[in-house]
Amino acid sequence: MNSLISIVWRTKSKISSYDWRVPINVRPVVPSRLFNHESNRSPKSVLGGYIALTKPRIIELLLITTVPTMVLAAGKWPAWSLIAVTLLGGSLAAGGANAINMFIDRDIDKLMKRTQTRPLVTGLIKPHNALVFAIALEIIAFAVLWFGANLLSAVLALSATAFYVFVYSLWLKRTSKQNIVIGGAAGAVPTLVGWAAVTNSVGWPAIWLFVIIFLWTPPHFWALAIRHSDEYRAASVPMLPSVVSIEKTIRTMVVYTVILTLVSFVMIPVSDLGLIYGVTAALAGLGFVVGTAMLSRRPTDAWSMRVFSFSITYVTLLFGALMVDVLVSAT
């Protein structure tokens, strides 16, 4: 492991001499880029406020992992009706969890520039109404998944919400610099939900995909937190970049990206995947590792946001390649 990390740092040193001019608003490759809409604008209507409570962009990222997992579980393209039910139930569950998170964090959201336009901070939505809305979403999500797929997928989705709310939002976020490391496990559960919706079980491929997202989450979020470290510090939220040096944060991120890249190859023998997935995992993983390592030479907002955006592109490419690999093999 140490030798691999050393190679990464040497590679980073060679390419970091280039004049990389990176805009802060670099956008990741995700399906929503097919549409022209802004994700950070303040909602103006009450309806827009309720939609903002669900954090649609985060939901999109969660669902990017769900459909490929379902394809892998089925060994082919699953029934459209099952995909629709699973995506609907998963979206409602994630939206409810995000709304509860906004309800809990409304006191610190007003202290951070990044979150000052959220509907509970601006007063567009009343806290009580937001909480009722969130609980209603969770109830509907459970019913949709139970009756449309199976009880296991519904329980898994609800467990992710419970973990996100009680372990991350209410406990770890304000007390531990490992908050996103442990709390981020909730964001990996959609892989288990997708697999369970198809098979009514939790298999090893789903568990390894869970591990991949679990390892991906810290460097993904810390890249964003580097840009907003002063805001987290002012709000007394111990995100890693706000309580340790940027250099130590970046070293930790590099370790995570190296382990993530290595673990991603486990899916090849576990799920009998081929070149499409293998080559994508190698190239995307290398890009993620080297880009993160280069942060040590360029610890700027622009480069941290480039890493943040590429981390989203990485997971999109990885799971997209997994899905294509399965579908090509099935033909």
pLDDT at residue 306 greater than cutoff 60 = yes
Nearest Cα neighbor of 142 from 126, 160, 129, 127 is: 160
- pLDDT for res 17: 43
- pLDDT for res 19: 40
- pLDDT for res 31: 52
- pLDDT for res 10: 54
Residue with the larger pLDDT of the pair 215 and 29: 215
Residue with the larger pLDDT of the pair 183 and 15: 183
Question: What single letter denotes the amino acid at residue 319?
Answer: F
Percent over 90 (pLDDT), the chain: 82
| Residue range 106-159, pLDDT digits in tens | 999 999 999 999 999 999 999 999 999 999 999 999 999 999 999 999 999 999
- pLDDT for res 60: 86
| Residue range 49-108, pLDDT digits in tens | 999 999 998 888 888 999 999 999 999 999 999 999 999 999 999 999 999 999 999 999
pLDDT at residue 1 greater than cutoff 50 = yes
Would you say 228 and 112 are in contact if contact means Cβ atoms under 8 Å apart? yes
pLDDT at residue 331 greater than cutoff 90 = no
Instruction: Enter the tokens of residue 142.
Output: 């459970």
pLDDT at residue 274 greater than cutoff 80 = yes
- pLDDT for res 26: 52
pLDDT at residue 14 greater than cutoff 60 = no
Burial 122-150 (b: 16+ CB within 10 A, else e): bebbeeebbbebbeebbebbbebbbebbb
- Reported as a pLDDT band with limits 50, 70 and 90, residue 266 is very high
| Residue range 19-58, pLDDT digits in tens | 434 444 455 655 544 333 334 578 889 999 999 999 998 8
Across the chain, what does the average pLDDT equal? 90
pLDDT at residue 295 greater than cutoff 90 = yes
Q: What value does the mean pLDDT take over residues 230-251?
A: 95
pLDDT at residue 207 greater than cutoff 50 = yes
pTM for this predicted structure: 0.89
